[in-house]
Structure 1
């Protein structure tokens, strides 16, 4: 009976009550609750990706120390640095929002360094882009240039029926056309100066054959 502490033990084989008594509470101090082990230490290389690592390594010799991250939240990160015997030697506190880092010597020597961690501003190497060659313009039948102002004069001096024109340049000042035969060999070149309406036709096998105003 929980309320009175009464305990009755009965032999179910017919022996009746074996024991009927009041149970007294045991006042013995309970064994302490076992706590989980502390987070295992890590090698210094395990924190070398943190933004405060370089500044921390510059202020403290991490060679014989083991870092233990004891807290890491939205606001800050705290790291304990322990020696080979597990004794705490240094503590670093990094404030993420401001980049402020404080490193404290726990042996009573106070603050080792308090500074703002600057991000690595090394300029990345420029991206190397593959060399781009100008896209070759497709060859066209003579009819595609028939609307050009120099066409009539060009056709009067060159048989365009057997040649394929390729406009190789066409800008504000002039237009250059190459005329190729059926084998793709360049036979003639025309240069038309737009501002003066002058046309030059060159036989690539024998020199200039016309120079004058386009009709």
Structure 2
């Protein structure tokens, strides 16, 4: 009988030893539980945010892993078969707020969860009726949808109406001087009391140029999306370049204006060359920038041509171009707050956080 009991006890010990759930170490009268990897992976499915995550992601295709878990929040990363990060879940514990981010497509979900891990409804019933809450919510949602569609149609019609009159705008003649507008489709994307923005797209619908006109000051900027600043200056109400004439000379006004224009042109060319050389100098030191190492973690920089397109007291802007010279990624680094955004120009937000 003793032999049978000892055998059963041994079997239980062996079964407990190979489960890989947890072990306990005895050290000077204190017991310290040690969590193993297998238990951490199994516990992922019991977390309150897991149920909501499965509503937006086919978790069967990925391997889930908790990469951060502290008093404030918990971060779960889902990796594909090749070990590449595809989705991230960020759960703020005190407020029960969850964010789900697709590394290629951007934000998927951002909302508050209930204690059961379900998304908390935020639609409020504004009318007191005797119908069920479900019916009231559906009605409210329909009104919101209809209002959004109506606003969208109105904005679209306003843009189309504005687009047909682009040639009448103050800045249009100046755009024609610097860009062959016949090659592009011009479209007004913003027009308010302060400024007007026109974009010029190629046949494939890609934005190539942007015109920004500040109305009160008459300041006009033309930007080549791939090549940088093309023009910056002040226009008259007729759309011509405003030049300050030198009245304290004996030459004619025409000659004075021509000389002044030449000086403005030479200065602009000099500034352009200076900026270009500064960008090239800065570009050679890109690897020394604080955000570069984080950029390498999220993008295979070896495949692209890396270039600093903006560097001032406030921020760095880096673009990564493919072999055909087309921008594929953009890194924006705000210096004072040490915040970096990495954007896939075709797929959306890749990274947004503090360094």
**TM-score by structure 2 length?**
0.24
Which of the pair has more CA radius of gyration?
A: 1
The structure carrying a bigger strand percent of its residues is 1
